[in-house]
Amino acid sequence: MRILIAGAAGFIGSHFCDRLLAEGYAVVGMDNFITGSADNLAHLSADPRFEFIQHDVTRPIPDIGPVEGVLNLASPASPVDYLEHPIETLEVGSRGTQNLLEVALKNDARYLLTSTSECYGDPLVHPQVETYWGNVNPIGPRSCYDESKRFAEAITMAYHRKHGVKTNIARIFNTYGPRMQLDDGRVVPAFIDQALRGEPFTVYGTGAQTRSFCYVSDLVDGLFRLMLSDERYPVNVGNPIEMTILEFAEHIKKVSGSSAPIEFRPLPEDDPKRRRPDITKAKQVLGWEPRVTLEEGLAETFQYFRSKVGVAA
């Protein structure tokens, strides 16, 4: 089985490549490095079952030979990244998604879209179930990402309904782990970087907003199971253990032994107040639920970031 994975040089994409290779697949990675890094794939350079093509998926996709699966992870994902690249984010969710659906259609391949909990916007239903249509500001700063992903979901369903493409849609909730970019602005690398440097922890707003953090190996396991399933409607993939951002900052401060203070900064516009996946469907349809505890996941992540910031382990 040969699989095309777009967004392969990103945080989740590179872990998904590792998982597919471990499962015996041949993998074609594609990425334009807008937010990813070649470092994330360096360990695969000698693997004969791994090929890499540097390419922007919003441009026509070159003939890559037959593939049995197309996995679409290509998109800036951190708020700092998509606010810096709003047009590229809209283009990759729309034209990029369609180009990849065309590859799946031509090859009669299965297709998986990595969508997001941002489709629920600032949710009025809690925890979020897949049947909730969301509360999204279509013109706010985050709309470039939210509406890009909502379009991506819509065109994925259209290719399934019109052309019978075997599609899957994962709605991913906040995921963390090694290979995140230290400076991508997401809360996990931000707090870990601050802990390692002994700098103040920057909590936005009062820190009362909540998130639920999933370790990357659990997430990839959920995506892998979804890729093999016949479920055509969206499935939440995330960890349902929810905490406030202030609690999370206090937790990182405690486990790191940092004595730096917590400082409060302005809350970004439209920052969702609560986020927690209802994973009943993933449990039932995929037999999946997260296994890695926050303590275990953070220990792995700290170890990775220590090597990156040059702090002794």
Contact residues: ligand NAD, CB under 6 A: 6-7, 9-13, 31-36, 56-58, 73-77, 92, 96, 114, 116, 172, 174-175
| CA separation, residue 102 to residues 67, 192, 210, 246 (Å) | 12, 40, 38, 44
Q: Is 145 an annotated catalytic residue?
A: yes
| Residue number with CB closer to ligand NAD (159 or 258) | 159
Options 111, 145, 159, 176, the catalytic residue = 145
Give the nearer residue to ligand NAD in terms of CB position, either 71 or 249. 71
108: which residues sit within 8 A by CB, 6+ positions away?
none
Nearer Cβ to ligand NAD (112/246): 112
Q: How far apart are CA 13 and CA 135, in angstroms?
A: 28
Tell me if 186 contacts ligand UDP by CB under 6 A.
Answer: yes
Nearer residue to ligand UDP within complex by CB, 56 or 147: 147
Q: Which of residues 26-85 bind ligand UDP (CB under 6 A)?
A: 78-79
- Of the candidate residues 41, 190, 195, 196, the single one contacting ligand UDP (CB under 6 A): 190
Looking at residue 160, its amino acid is: H
Provide, rounded to whole angstroms, the least separation between the CB of residue 261 and ligand NAD: 27
Does residue 219 bind ligand UDP (CB under 6 A)? no
Task: State the minimum distance, in angstroms, from the CB of residue 58 to ligand NAD.
Answer: 5
Nearer to ligand NAD, 13 or 69 (CB): 13
Q: Of the ranges 2-10, 68-76, 128-136, 185-193, which one interacts with ligand UDP (CB under 6 A)?
A: 185-193
Paired sense of beta strands 167-172 and 235-237, if any: parallel
Q: Which of 186, 187, 175, 293 is nearest to 236 (CA)?
A: 175
Residue 214 as a binder of ligand UDP (CB under 6 A): the answer is no
CA angle centred on 20, ends 287 and 229, rounded to 5°: 35
CB of 260 to ligand UDP, least distance (A): 13
| Vertex 297: Cα angle to 126 and 288 (nearest 5) | 55
Name the token pair of 58. Answer: 């919003």
For residue 69, how many other CB atoms are within 10 A of its CB? 21
Helix, strand, coil percentages, rounded to 5, for the chain: 40, 20, 40
Contacts (CB under 6 A) with ligand UDP, residues 243-262? 245
- The token duo for 270 is 């439209």
Count of residues touching ligand UDP (by CB under 6 A): 15
Among 261, 249, 240, 139, residue whose Cα is nearest residue 198 = 261
Q: By CB under 6 A, tell whether 128 contacts ligand UDP.
A: no
Are 17 and 42 a contacting pair, CB within 8 Å? no
- Please choose which of ligand NAD, ligand UDP, none residue 271 contacts, taking the beta carbon within 5 to 8 angstroms, the exact cut-off set by kind: ligand UDP
C-alpha to C-alpha distance for 174 and 186, rounded to whole angstroms = 9
> At its nearest, how many Å lie between ligand NAD and the CB of residue 13?
5
Is the Cβ–Cβ distance between 127 and 154 less than 8 Å?
A: no
CA gap 201, 2 in Å, rounded: 44
Min separation Cβ 238 and ligand UDP, Å: 11
**Least distance to ligand UDP from the beta carbon of 215, Å?**
15
The reply on whether position 240 binds ligand UDP by CB under 6 A is no
Question: 3-state class of 187 per DSSP?
Answer: helix
Contact positions toward ligand UDP, by CB under 6 A?
78-79, 174, 185-187, 190, 202-204, 209, 211, 245, 268, 271
- Supply the residues annotated as catalytic: 145
